[in-house]
Amino acid sequence: MAETYKRSVFVGVKQIRIDELPIPKPGPRQALIKVKACAICTWEQRMYSGVEKYYPLSGGHEVSGELVAVGEKCFIDAKPGDRVVYAGLTRCGYCDSCRSGMDSNCDNSRKPFSDNDVPGPAGLGEYVLVDDYQVYKGANDVSFEELCLAEPVSCVTRSILHANIKPTEDVVIIGAGIMGVLHVLLAKQAGARVIVSEPNPERAAFAKKIGAETVIDPIKESFVDRVKELTDGRGADKIFVAVSIASAVEQAVEAVAKGGRVAVYASIHPRGTKISVDPNLFHSNEVVLSGTVSQDKEDFLLATRMISKKIIDVKPFISKVYPFSQLEDAIEAAMTPETYRVVVTM
């Protein structure tokens, strides 16, 4: 094994530095992963483009790779040579959120993710040193490109489970970007009839290919009226907002059925944006407005198992694959509307 490895660091708007560092040795409760694939999330895209500026940052949190070594006190079920997935979210295990079952929102998640000199999950590099609880065993006969999508699938798993979808329910997904169409995939798994709202014709067609029964164009027709028409006037049982537009939340509250749920999946930009809704809708119709962030340990386990056991097929969501040497090209491609997930391979 080589003695050094390359790691990328976001240092400014459209500026990436490549560091060469000694390959670390795992401590007692750590694991060393040789990264094989890392997908480019919208978070890395926002950092690269300057929408969010938190520099320096070692990005990359949708990661799969080969387990190289583990510390002597690790209890993970994988062994060196196995294919694994890295759940890069910090879960300290000690804060109120972690101890009350909300480790998806750990109070210490913004603290350094690892022992690196630069904060961040550090998956956009050739190796990554992680805590043992962050390692999930994947199937050795599933590609690394597919396995690295366990992280976004786990976030959507949390959203779907939180909404408690029942078979035959009418579910609306607002937005057919990557997270929107993953909602389509998992809502269909839960037995729902899925309607998608998406103005982009290519994305609308892909949503139908994945399993949406009907697609609404919210620019050409009234979203609220069309949802009511498609649901015999009741409104949708569950509506997921998978776009960063505040007005979409307002319209969803108007289009949801009595006793229904509006789930805000996407973070709304710009940060601090407010929404305006009639509070009587909550009182009279018993509507629930909620949201989810990231994933907990069970969500990640379920996502890894669904991909490993081929219960779901994530290959259609992989738009392009780039080598690590073309990282900036990969991020630029990921920011175009025709891609879903761009994957970087090491």
Return the CATH number at 33. Answer: 3.90.180.10
Do 201 and 138 fall within a single domain?
Answer: no
270 and 140 both lie in a single domain? no
Contacts by 329-337, CB closer than 8 A, 24 or more apart: 330/40, 331/40, 331/44, 331/45, 331/48, 334/40, 334/44, 334/45, 335/45, 335/48, 335/49, 337/200, 337/203
Same domain, 15 and 126: yes
Statement: residue 116 has pLDDT above 70 = no
The pair of structure tokens assigned to 282 is: 């909550």
pLDDT of residue 110: 66
Q: Does residue 104 sit in the same domain as residue 228? A: no
Which position has the higher pLDDT, 105 or 216? 216
Cβ proximity of 157 and 41 under 8 Å:
no
* CA 294 remoteness from chain centre: 7
List CB contacts of 78: < 8 A, sequence separation 6 or more.
67, 84, 135, 136, 137
Question: What is the structure's pLDDT at 114?
Answer: 47
Give percent of the chain above pLDDT 90: 88
Q: Domain span at residue 114? A: 4-149+314-345
Q: Which H or E run contains 247?
A: helix 246-255
CATH code for position 181: 3.40.50.720
Q: Does residue 263 share a domain with residue 202?
A: yes
- Collapsing DSSP to helix, strand or coil, 91 comes out as coil
Q: Verify that 159 and 275 share a domain, yes or no.
A: yes
Provide the whole-model pTM: 0.94
Residues forming a β-bridge with 9: 17
The answer to whether residues 91 and 224 belong to one domain is no
The more confidently predicted of residues 320 and 91 is: 320
**pLDDT tens figures, 117-148:** 788 899 999 999 999 999 999 999 999 999 99
Residues 177 and 77 grouped into a single domain? no
Judge if 166 and 246 occupy the same domain.
yes
- Stretch 39-54: mean pLDDT, rounded? 93
Residues 22, 140, single domain; the answer is yes
Total domains present in the chain: 2
